[in-house]
A and B are shown apart, each in its own frame.
Chain A
Amino acid sequence: MNAAIPLSAQLINLFAAVILLLAFAMLAQRRMLSLVNLFAAQGFCLFLATLTAAVTTGQSHLFYSAGLTLLLKVIALPWILYRLVRQLNIKGEVEALINIPTTMLVGIVLVMAAFNVALPISELSHTITRGTLGIALAVVMLAFLMMITRQKAISQVVGFLSMENGLFLAATSATYGMPMVVELGIALDVLVGMIILGVFFFQIRDQFDSLDIRHMEKLKDN
Chain B
Amino acid sequence: MDFFILMLAIPLVSGALLTVVGERDWAPNLNVVASLGTFLAAVGLTAEIVANGPRFAFGEQFFIDSLNVFFVSLTAFVGLTTSIFSGPYMRNERDRGRLSKPRLRLYKSMYQLFMFTMLAALTTNNLGILWVAMEAATLTTVLLVSLYRTPASLEAAWKYFILCGVGIAQALFGTVLLYFAAERVLGAAGNALLWTHLVDVKAQLEPTIMALSFIFLLVGYGTKVGLAPLHNWLPDAHAEGPTPVSAVLSGLLLNVALYAILRCKVLADGALPEGYAGQLMIGFGLFTLLVAAFFLSRQKDVKRMFAYSSIEHMGLITFAFGMGGPIANFAGLLHMTMHSLTKSAIFFAVGHATQKTDTQLMEQIRGLIRINPLIGWGLMLGTLAILGMPPFGVFASEFMILTHAMKHYPWAIPILLLALGVAFASIFGKVQPMVFGETTAKRLPHAPAITPVFLHLGLVLMLGLYIPPYLTRWFHEAARMLG
Residues of A within 8 A of B (CB): 59, 117, 120-121, 124-126, 137, 140, 144, 147, 153, 156, 160, 163-164, 167, 170-171, 174-176, 178-182, 185-186, 188-189, 192-193, 196-197, 199-200, 203-204, 206-208, 213, 215-219, 221-222
Chain B residues with CB under 8 A of A221: 235, 295, 298-299, 304
What is the CB-to-nearest-CB distance from A100 to chain B, in angstroms, rounded to a whole number?
22
Known: A207-B154, A218-B152, A219-B236. 10 other contacts (CB 8 A): A147-B162, A156-B162, A160-B165, A175-B179, A178-B128, A182-B129, A186-B135, A189-B135, A200-B143, A219-B159
Closest to A208 in B: B151
Interface residues of B in 206-229 (CB under 8 A from A): 206, 208-209, 212
Contact size class for B? Answer: 35 or more
Interface locus among B65-73, B90-98, B169-177, B381-389: B169-177
> Which of the residues B128, B135, B143 comes within 8 Å of A181, measured between beta carbons?
B128
Chain B residues with CB under 8 A of A222: 298
Could you show 29 A-B contacts with beta carbons less than 8 Å apart? A117-B212, A121-B180, A124-B209, A125-B180, A147-B166, A163-B169, A170-B173, A175-B176, A178-B128, A178-B179, A181-B61, A181-B128, A182-B128, A185-B129, A185-B132, A186-B128, A186-B132, A186-B172, A188-B132, A189-B139, A193-B165, A196-B142, A200-B161, A203-B146, A204-B154, A206-B149, A207-B150, A219-B155, A219-B159
1/0 per residue B128-160: CB within 8 Å of A? 110110011001001100100111101111110
> Which of the residues B135, B295, B304 comes within 8 Å of A193, measured between beta carbons?
B135
What is the CB-to-nearest-CB distance from B151 to chain A, in angstroms, rounded to a whole number?
5
Is A219 touching B176 in the complex (CB atoms < 8 A)? Answer: no
Task: State A143–B163 Cα separation when bound (angstroms).
Answer: 14
Task: State A167–B128 Cα separation when bound (angstroms).
Answer: 13
Chain A residues with CB under 8 A of B298: 221-222
Chain B residues with CB under 8 A of A164: 169
Task: State A125–B209 Cα separation when bound (angstroms).
Answer: 10
Task: State A144–B170 Cα separation when bound (angstroms).
Answer: 10
Task: State A120–B180 Cα separation when bound (angstroms).
Answer: 13
CB of B293 within 8 Å of the partner chain: no
Is B177 touching A167 in the complex (CB atoms < 8 A)? Answer: no
Task: State A176–B166 Cα separation when bound (angstroms).
Answer: 23
What is the CB-to-nearest-CB distance from A185 to chain B, in angstroms, rounded to a whole number?
3
CB of B184 within 8 Å of the partner chain: yes
Is A171 touching B176 in the complex (CB atoms < 8 A)? Answer: yes
Is B176 touching A170 in the complex (CB atoms < 8 A)? Answer: yes
CB of B445 within 8 Å of the partner chain: no
Is A196 touching B169 in the complex (CB atoms < 8 A)? Answer: no
CB of B469 within 8 Å of the partner chain: no
Known A-B contacts A121-B212, A163-B169, A200-B146; the reply to A176 vs B158 at CB < 8 A is no
Task: State A80–B184 Cα separation when bound (angstroms).
Answer: 39
CB of B188 within 8 Å of the partner chain: yes
Task: State A153–B155 Cα separation when bound (angstroms).
Answer: 11
Task: State A180–B128 Cα separation when bound (angstroms).
Answer: 10
Known A-B contacts A164-B169, A221-B298; the reply to A203 vs B132 at CB < 8 A is no
Task: State A181–B136 Cα separation when bound (angstroms).
Answer: 15
Is A120 touching B208 in the complex (CB atoms < 8 A)? Answer: yes
What is the CB-to-nearest-CB distance from B180 to chain A, in angstroms, rounded to a whole number?
4
Is B135 touching A174 in the complex (CB atoms < 8 A)? Answer: no
CB of B126 within 8 Å of the partner chain: yes
CB of B192 within 8 Å of the partner chain: yes
Task: State A181–B235 Cα separation when bound (angstroms).
Answer: 34
Known A-B contacts A121-B209, A207-B154; the reply to A175 vs B129 at CB < 8 A is no
What is the CB-to-nearest-CB distance from A144 to chain B, in angstroms, rounded to a whole number?
7
Chain A residues with CB under 8 A of B192: 179
Closest to B127 in A: A182
> Which of the residues A167, A189, A215, A218 comes within 8 Å of B176, measured between beta carbons?
A167
Is A213 touching B158 in the complex (CB atoms < 8 A)? Answer: yes
CB of B183 within 8 Å of the partner chain: yes
Is B173 touching A181 in the complex (CB atoms < 8 A)? Answer: no
Interface residues of B in 384-402 (CB under 8 A from A): none
What is the CB-to-nearest-CB distance from B8 to chain A, in angstroms, rounded to a whole number?
15
Known A-B contacts A121-B212, A186-B172, A193-B139; the reply to A175 vs B158 at CB < 8 A is no
Task: State A215–B152 Cα separation when bound (angstroms).
Answer: 10
What is the CB-to-nearest-CB distance from B395 to chain A, in angstroms, rounded to a whole number?
28
Chain B residues with CB under 8 A of A182: 126, 128-129, 131-132, 193
Known A-B contacts A167-B176, A174-B177, A207-B154; the reply to A124 vs B208 at CB < 8 A is yes
Q: Which of A59, A164, A175, A204 has the most CB of B within 10 A?
A: A175
Closest to A140 in B: B173
Task: State A199–B139 Cα separation when bound (angstroms).
Answer: 12
Is A167 touching B299 in the complex (CB atoms < 8 A)? Answer: no
Task: State A76–B127 Cα separation when bound (angstroms).
Answer: 27
Is B208 touching A121 in the complex (CB atoms < 8 A)? Answer: yes
Is A216 touching B155 in the complex (CB atoms < 8 A)? Answer: yes
Is B152 touching A153 in the complex (CB atoms < 8 A)? Answer: no
Closest to B192 in A: A179
Chain B residues with CB under 8 A of A216: 151, 154-155, 158-159
Is B128 touching A179 in the complex (CB atoms < 8 A)? Answer: yes
Interface residues of B in 284-330 (CB under 8 A from A): 295, 298-299, 304
Known A-B contacts A189-B136, A196-B143, A216-B154; the reply to A178 vs B176 at CB < 8 A is yes
CB of B102 within 8 Å of the partner chain: no
Is A167 touching B173 in the complex (CB atoms < 8 A)? Answer: yes
Task: State A5–B169 Cα separation when bound (angstroms).
Answer: 32
CB of B190 within 8 Å of the partner chain: yes
Task: State A147–B158 Cα separation when bound (angstroms).
Answer: 13
Q: Which of B154, B175, B176 has the most CB of A within 10 A?
A: B176
Chain B residues with CB under 8 A of A200: 142-143, 146, 154, 157-158, 161
> Which of the residues B129, B161, B193, B240 comes within 8 Å of A197, measured between beta carbons?
B161
What is the CB-to-nearest-CB distance from B194 to chain A, in angstroms, rounded to a whole number?
9
Q: Which of A124, A160, A182, A186 has the most CB of B within 10 A?
A: A182
